[in-house]
Amino acid sequence: MSINMLHLRYAVEIADVGSINKASETLYVGQPNLSRAIKELESSLGFAIFDRSAKGMFPTPEGEAFLSSAREILKQMDDLETRYGRGAAVTQRFSISVPRASYISEAFARFSRTLSDVPAELFYKETNALRAIDNILNADFRLGIIRYAQEYDHYFQSMLEARGLVGELVTQFRYMLIMHRDSALAQREEIRRSDLRGLIEIAHADPYVPLLPFSEVRKSELTPDVNRRIYVYERAGQFDLLTSNHDTFMWVSPIPDQLLARFDLVQRPCADNDRVYQDVMIYRSSYHLTELDRQFIAQLNQVKGDYL
């Protein structure tokens, strides 16, 4: 079966406007020719795309499914034409999903300043490990960085291998505590977990570990003996809370000094915190890193050296 791409455009336009007459006007194609093209398309498919009536043309159930696929194909063709059509400058593309980590956002900011004047599109999304993986498998993201406690490494490595993904260690670290510089916690010479009682913990609202119940994962990520918490999905909201409520604290990967200064925050180690976390870069096993990918990784390694 051979499908004429022009006929696909005809079918989609008819579905959008609801009649041959209107489609004929918008496509600047004679009505007899348009009608003949749709009949040829239906003949090659072996089913009717439209139900015809005095009120217009409406997709059949089979036609709805076909038209949905046709729209996707036409969108891809338009994208190709825009990017690679004659005389068009090739647009470089970079896309990554990452944990809500300030050292990574600092690396991305530095990376953005290294771009040449060649057209480029950059996509940067902060999310949890589950969505970072899904973005590579189903949303056309090229790279991801996922974060998890070292004790869960076997769960993640097995899952990545099963899904055809590569995982490369970026760094390992222990969480630091951050709080407002006027917080009573910030005045202590040494901070222990017992000092966090009575304070409000700001926590990520969507931790994830494959094969483990959400309730178990969340419990393992929270501070024992703290009974007041605020769950937040995005980093800006977390910083706003830390700045405005001096009874709050948060566990984080090390944060660049200029960001701490911007929000009047301080970061301190916790003397009895020995849990190790790791950030792992992921991508499809069949994927080859681009020059933009390598530029970002270079900046990431630089910032990692500065702060971790």
Three-class secondary structure of residue 147 per DSSP: strand
88-114 exposure pattern, b = at least 16 Cβ within 10 A, e = fewer: eeeebebbbbbbbbbbbbbbbebbeee
Segment 63-79 mean pLDDT = 87
What pLDDT, on a 0 to 100 scale, did the predictor assign at position 211? Answer: 67
Q: Which CATH number fits domain 5-84: 2.60.40.290, 1.10.10.10, 3.10.180.10, 1.10.8.60?
A: 1.10.10.10
- Closest Cα to residue 242, out of 297, 183, 296, 197? 183
State residue 117's pLDDT score.
80
**For residue 54, what pLDDT band results from cuts at 50, 70 and 90?**
confident
Question: For position 59, what pLDDT does the model report?
Answer: 92
* Greatest alpha-carbon span in the chain: 86
Q: 267 φ, ψ to 5°?
A: -120, 140
Label residue 47 left, alpha or beta by phi (over 0 means left) and psi (-120 to 50 means alpha). beta
Does 176-274 match 92-172+278-307 at the fold level?
yes
d(CA 214, CA 218): 6
Give the domain ranges of the chain.
Answer: 5-84, 92-172+278-307, 176-274
Output the pLDDT for position 209. 77
Neighbours of 63 (CB within 10 A): 21
Confidence band for 118, pLDDT divided at 50, 70 and 90: confident
DSSP 195: G
pLDDT value for 288? 92
CA distance 130 to 87: 40
In the chain, what is the straight-line distance between the N-terminal and C-terminal CA atoms, in Å? 58
What per-residue confidence (pLDDT) applies to 212? 72
What are the tokens at 85? 């059509």
Q: Is residue 173 pLDDT above 90, yes or no?
A: yes
Q: Is the model more confident about 282 or about 208?
A: 282
Nearest to 131 by CA among 205, 203, 231: 205
Least confident of 2-16, 119-133, 145-159: 2-16
Of 137-151, 165-179, 180-194, 210-224, least confident by mean pLDDT is 210-224
Q: Is the pLDDT of residue 282 over 70?
A: yes
200 SS3 class: strand
Give the C-alpha separation, 235 to 256, whole Å: 14
Please tell me which residue, 169 or 52, carries the higher pLDDT value: 169
Separation CA 236–CA 131 (nearest Å): 19
Q: What is the pLDDT of residue 191?
A: 96
Task: Express each pLDDT in 218-241 by its tens digit.
Answer: 778 888 889 999 998 888 899 999
The answer on pLDDT for 153 being more than 70 is yes
Q: For domain 92-172+278-307, which CATH number applies: 3.40.50.280, 3.20.20.80, 3.20.20.70, 3.40.190.10?
A: 3.40.190.10
The topology (CATH level 3) of 176-274 is D-Maltodextrin-Binding Protein; domain 2 (3.40.190)
Q: Is the pLDDT of residue 150 over 80?
A: yes
Identify the band that residue 78 occupies on the pLDDT scale cut at 50, 70 and 90: confident
Does residue 248 carry a pLDDT above 90? yes
Phi, psi of 127 (to 5 degrees): -160, -175
Half-sphere exposure of 112 (CA within 13 A, CB side): 11
pLDDT of residue 230: 94
- Alpha-helical regions (H) of 2-60: 5-17, 20-27, 31-45
Question: Which pLDDT belongs to residue 80?
Answer: 74
Q: How much of the chain exceeds pLDDT 90, in percent?
A: 62
Residues 255-271: pLDDT tens digits? 999 999 999 999 999 99
Label residue 207 by pLDDT band (50, 70, 90): confident
Q: How much is the mean pLDDT over the chain?
A: 90
Give the model's pLDDT for residue 88. Answer: 55
Pairing of strands 92-98, 120-126: parallel
